[in-house]
Amino acid sequence: MIIGPKQEGNWYYDMLNFISQGVFPTDLIRDERKRMALQSQKFVEVAQELYIQGIDNILRRCVPDHEQKAVLTEAHQGISRGHFHGDTLGKKILQARLWWPPTVLKDAHEFANRCNVCQRLGQPIARDRMPHTLVLALKPSAWNTRNKYILVATNYCTK
């Protein structure tokens, strides 16, 4: 059984097929098969999806090629509308437990550098600062009697 449509050069389906079925892609030579078998030790199949266990022991879902742009778009300018810088964007994706090769961080940098909105607005400057205002006065809950206040801060200008 082949999982998903076979796409030329798509690492995801080749690795998923190898993990689930033990089948190498037909176009690999002997050394490439050895390399793939070695690399496959980091991958796990869960519910017909591919996951990788990183050096931090966190299991991250591998994102197929056709989903990567949507992930980058959502993390960069989605619901948070943060238009985050490449470093932050890459870390957000990894924190969301997503991953793809060769590197999520490089793709995040390139995506953030090509964002039309970010290029028009540029980096935040002193003029963009917003005054710090108290949003809501909070009292610690009854069970925590040692503290008098809870401080909540929002950073508006860091990308």
Residues contributing to the site for Zn ion (CB under 5 A): 83, 115, 117-118
The least distance separating Zn ion from the CB of residue 131, rounded to whole angstroms, comes to: 25
Residue closer to Zn ion by CB (options 80, 103) is 80
Cα–Cα dist 79/55, whole Å: 30
Residue closer to Zn ion by CB (options 63, 118) is 118
The least distance separating Zn ion from the CB of residue 88, rounded to whole angstroms, comes to: 11
Assess whether the previous peptide bond of 64 is cis (omega < 30° from 0): no
b/e per residue, 85-121, with b = 16+ CB within 10 A?
Answer: bbebbbbbbbeeebbbeeebeebbbebbeebeebeee
The least distance separating Zn ion from the CB of residue 130, rounded to whole angstroms, comes to: 19
Residue closer to Zn ion by CB (options 114, 146) is 114
